[in-house]
Chain A
């Protein structure tokens, strides 16, 4: 029962991703991309990554859509329709081979929820067992982001700040 829902979710994910690329009207593409982000947020929530799902829903479906729409309204109406040439033969041959190679490589990845996978034996057991004691924070994601890995988050905040400054310098003209 739930498996059918998940398969439907993944099919819808692929369909919306393809639709966002293939649709001619760019404004429709932006909205399809927003729905893709919502479906992706559902997939994250299904996999148990609730924080990532939250960010995906708010940023991918909300903020990015606003930015794309404002960019489209800011550009000339001429380029709301794209003309695409047919894909070259090399891509039609090469991309399936690349996909097969990726599937072959995916065989060696650790199974999902495997407790012995490299990601869950290095430092995450320490974080999981000590977070509540060390920081009084039940949500381990928050304590890892803001305390154990606070320096990374500081640099990420600096990246966001730099993005804002760069946008103002490149796009912002004098406003009265």
Chain B
């Protein structure tokens, strides 16, 4: 069902907007500890920028080849999040207690917890973005399979 859009205006606007949205998403993700935002919002915006690419250029076009591959990575974000918790266990502490993370060149507990928050936020962002894209793909592919019936 998703075909490439043939309007030049839409394609040019998408070409301009997608990198901006992605830049802002990364900003929101990384600076979630200093301002509003965080992993969830950053992930949704990252996913939305790729969805815009899918809707405008079609799933096979070059800016969105990443999105096609991304669907196979469902669960990577969860693994990152739980993996950080597991690293805390390996570091000799409690699950998801970041002060036991073993990070080289980091000496203070508060810095470890800061970096732990950052890593888990990246995990949440990856999970949310992949889920958003895969839901869009599954919503559109069900239509594809029904079309021969008409």
Contact = CB atoms under 8 A, between A and B. Distances in A.
B36 A54 contact: yes
Interface stretch (A30-38, A78-86, A94-102, A132-140): A132-140
A163 B114 CA distance: 29
A71 B33 contact: no
Contact of A136 (B95, B110, B128, B140): B110
Interface string B26-38: 0010001111111
Interface size class for chain B? 35 or more
Contacts of A167: 134-135, 138-139
B87 interface: no
Contacts, number: 156
A51 B37 contact: yes
Nearest to A74: B143
A157 B78 contact: yes
Interface in B115-150: 116-117, 120-121, 123-124, 127-128, 130-132, 134-145
Given A161-B74, A171-B139, A143 B134 contact: no
A142 B117 contact: yes
Nearest to B113: A135
B44 A175 contact: no
A55 interface: yes
A54 B1 contact: no
Contacts of B1: 73-74
Given A135-B110, A150-B96, A164-B74, A143 B139 contact: no
B134 to A, nearest CB: 5
Nearest to A161: B78
A36 B110 CA distance: 40
A14 interface: no
A158 to B, nearest CB: 6
Contacts of B77: 157, 161
A160 interface: yes
Contact of B110 (A54, A133, A142): A133
B53 interface: no
A47 interface: no
A140 B140 CA distance: 39
A160 B32 contact: no
A70 B33 contact: no
14 contacts: A58-B48, A73-B1, A135-B114, A136-B114, A138-B33, A143-B33, A146-B121, A150-B120, A161-B131, A164-B130, A167-B139, A171-B138, A172-B137, A172-B141
Interface of B: 1, 28, 32-41, 44-45, 47-48, 51, 55, 71, 74-75, 77-78, 81-82, 85, 95-96, 98, 109-111, 113-114, 116-117, 120-121, 123-124, 127-128, 130-132, 134-145
